[in-house]
Structure 1
Amino acid sequence: MSLRNAVAGIDVGYSKKRRSSAVCLMRWDDESINWEIRRYRATDKDRLETIRDILGNQSLRAVAFDGPLRTGFDTIGEYRTAERILTRSFGARIGKPGQSNSPVGIRLNEETNKCVKIVLSVANVAQSASRIRIADQSVVEAFPSSYLGVMIAEPESLSAVRKNRSDKFFAALNEDGTLASLLRHLLPHRRTLRDLREVENHDDRASLICAISALSFAVGKFCAVGDENGWIILPPHAFIQPWAHDLLREGEINGVASGWFCRD
């Protein structure tokens, strides 16, 4: 079993034809940070083999999934607080997550549950001591577009639409150095062995941001929205732009963003 200086992120997809799902394993030591990404098709065989090959026998501090999850890993089937907060607070500026009770949301929930069960069966995931835990292990939910979007100073200037939103956010935050600064904040005094600019595929980027979301949770530098039906991880407070803080405060006043948690 490897040392517990690792986290993982999975960009959950449900295509059985395209390799549109991806797994990212991020490792670090006292000097450096590195990651490995693999894509797979959402078939029973490919899903199991890929997750087992990259995460099997790994000892993980946390793992994050880009798909709806709640305690018990059962069917959610309702419009959750986490989704409402991200939609009503940020949707007009950076897009919104789908609803867990929509046809797409139900499929993603089902696929995410399958992925979680495989990860927990092949890897050793650390126990969670967080107040917002949804399982005994450190399993969390990520949503890359929102995680990236709240760090953009002027998201409207990017003219992003749904199909390219997270890619534009990733590129902008990479170009201005925010992603590199975030990694230094989460894991100080370490260099990255891979260039963030080399991560160009949409699903690879999503899985990497999921892994960074897991890292945020693992080191205790994160914010989150949600309730007992699931929490979605956001960046540390210091990296969330003032406009996003303002919108969340407005939501709290109006009773929309009551499920808001920060630990930084």
Structure 2
Amino acid sequence: MIDLDGVPLLGVDVGFSSSKPTTGIAWSKGGMFEVAKTHTDWQRRSQHIPAATTFSVIAIDGPLVPPGSDDSLHRLCERIFIRGLFQARCKPGLSHIGYGRDLRRAAAETAAQVVHLADRNVLVEKTIRNGASIVEAFPNAFLGVLLPEARFAMPAASKRKKFDWLYDHAVDSGVLENLFHTIGWLNLELIDAVLAETDHEKRAAWICLLTAACAATGKSEVVGDDIGGWFWLPPTSLWTQWARDAFAHNMTELRRQRYAS
């Protein structure tokens, strides 16, 4: 099993407010780690990343499409998670319309800012930039697929607070801590920090860091295609049954629609 304390990892929650600190950044290296909230410009973001460090995997919470893709590009990974049970529980926004286009551009800008930090000697498959292990985190689904069915019978959060609702339940149910053990990341101080986090942007950054860790261990479930990019999610061995069933159903429906057209 990979010693994740020895693998430099970086997670970035994009955010794109021009005036407020809406970016979350989390990194781990040599058993050390840090999380911070900052702004969108590289000058201030870079202050929260250890100098002279390259990262084996960088995970960004924002829609990452291949460079040069049209703004109107529909993404398979998004279409899978906007229907069925996912629609109410952990759906993404569509990145080819409205606010989603702004977020897609912000994610591209973030990837351009950090691509020089990617270790070119460590590559994972299914990335949108050649020679750089930059992957897309989707925190809502990352947590949602881990939560038992019964959790979704509890009072739901507003759309704005959905991620924090998912995070609270992932901590309370033990599934987030179990993920650390499954991927073999037994840094107790890090686990405690992640479980105790209450800040929205920092929480998102931690999930990005965990997304990078799953990718580094080769235990991710990667959903999407080469045209529209990929969501990197926890290993399917940890998905609850409702999530596995919903995913299989949605894939069947999308194939049926494609063949019928």
Q: Same fold (TM over 0.5)?
A: yes
Structure 2 letter corresponding to 1:240? W
Give the one of 27, 39, 49 matched to 1:54: 49
Q: In the alignment, which residue of structure 2 is the partner of 1:134?
A: 128
d(CA) in 1 for partners of 2:8, 2:155: 33
Give the 3-state SS of the residue equivalent to 1:248 in structure 2: helix
d(CA) in 2 for partners of 1:21, 1:234: 21
**TM-score of the superposition, structure 2-length normalised?**
0.85
**Could you report, residue by residue, the CA deviation over 1:26-47 in whole angstroms, capped at 9, with x for unpaired residues?**
2354xxxx531121222x3xx3
Matched, 1:5 2:7: yes
Structure 1 letter corresponding to 2:218? G
Give the 3-state SS of the residue equivalent to 1:23 in structure 2: strand
Deviation of residue 103 (structure 1)?
2.2
Q: How many pairs align?
A: 248
Deviation of residue 24 (structure 1)?
0.8
**Could you report, residue by residue, the CA deviation over 1:160-205 in whole angstroms, capped at 9, with x for unpaired residues?**
2311111111111112221111111112554334433431111110
Structure 1 letter corresponding to 2:33? W
Deviation of residue 247 (structure 1)?
1.1
d(CA) in 2 for partners of 1:123, 1:171: 31
Q: In the alignment, which residue of structure 1 is the partner of 2:158?
A: 161
Give the one of 36, 39, 42 matched to 1:41: 39
**Could you report, residue by residue, the CA deviation over 1:212-252 in whole angstroms, capped at 9, with x for unpaired residues?**
01111111011121111100111111111100111112123
Q: Is the Cα–Cα contact under 8 Å of residues 75 and 109 in structure 1 kept in the other structure?
A: no
**Could you report, residue by residue, the CA deviation over 1:135-176 in whole angstroms, capped at 9, with x for unpaired residues?**
221111111011101111122324123111111111111122
Structure 2 letter corresponding to 1:249? A
Q: In the alignment, which residue of structure 2 is the partner of 1:22?
A: 24
User: More helix per residue: 1 or 2?
Assistant: 2
**TM-score of the superposition, structure 1-length normalised?**
0.85
Q: Which moved more, 1:89-98 or 1:238-247?
A: 89-98
Q: In the alignment, which residue of structure 1 is the partner of 2:189?
A: 192
d(CA) in 1 for partners of 2:185, 2:220: 15
Q: In the alignment, which residue of structure 1 is the partner of 2:201?
A: 203
Structure 2 letter corresponding to 1:175? D
d(CA) in 1 for partners of 2:24, 2:168: 19
Deviation of residue 78 (structure 1)?
2.1
Deviation of residue 115 (structure 1)?
1.1
Change (3 A) 1:192 1:184: farther
Give the 3-state SS of the residue equivalent to 1:195 in structure 2: helix
Q: In the alignment, which residue of structure 2 is the partner of 1:117?
A: 112
Q: In the alignment, which residue of structure 1 is the partner of 2:225?
A: 227
Deviation of residue 256 (structure 1)?
5.0
Give the one of 53, 73, 79 matched to 2:74: 79
Deviation of residue 82 (structure 1)?
0.6
Q: Which moved more, 1:159-168 or 1:238-247?
A: 159-168
Q: In the alignment, which residue of structure 1 is the partner of 2:61?
A: 66
d(CA) in 2 for partners of 1:133, 1:89: 27
Give the 3-state SS of the residue equivalent to 2:164 in structure 1: helix
Q: Is the Cα–Cα contact under 8 Å of residues 52 and 119 in structure 1 kept in the other structure?
A: no
Q: Is the Cα–Cα contact under 8 Å of residues 95 and 162 in structure 1 kept in the other structure?
A: no
d(CA) in 1 for partners of 2:250, 2:114: 35
**Could you report, residue by residue, the CA deviation over 1:109-157 in whole angstroms, capped at 9, with x for unpaired residues?**
1111111111122453553242x23222111111101110111112232
Query: What stretches of structure 2 of length at least 5 have no aligned partner?
Result: none
Give the 3-state SS of the residue equivalent to 2:91 in structure 1: coil
d(CA) in 1 for partners of 2:53, 2:235: 26
User: More strand per residue: 1 or 2?
Assistant: 1
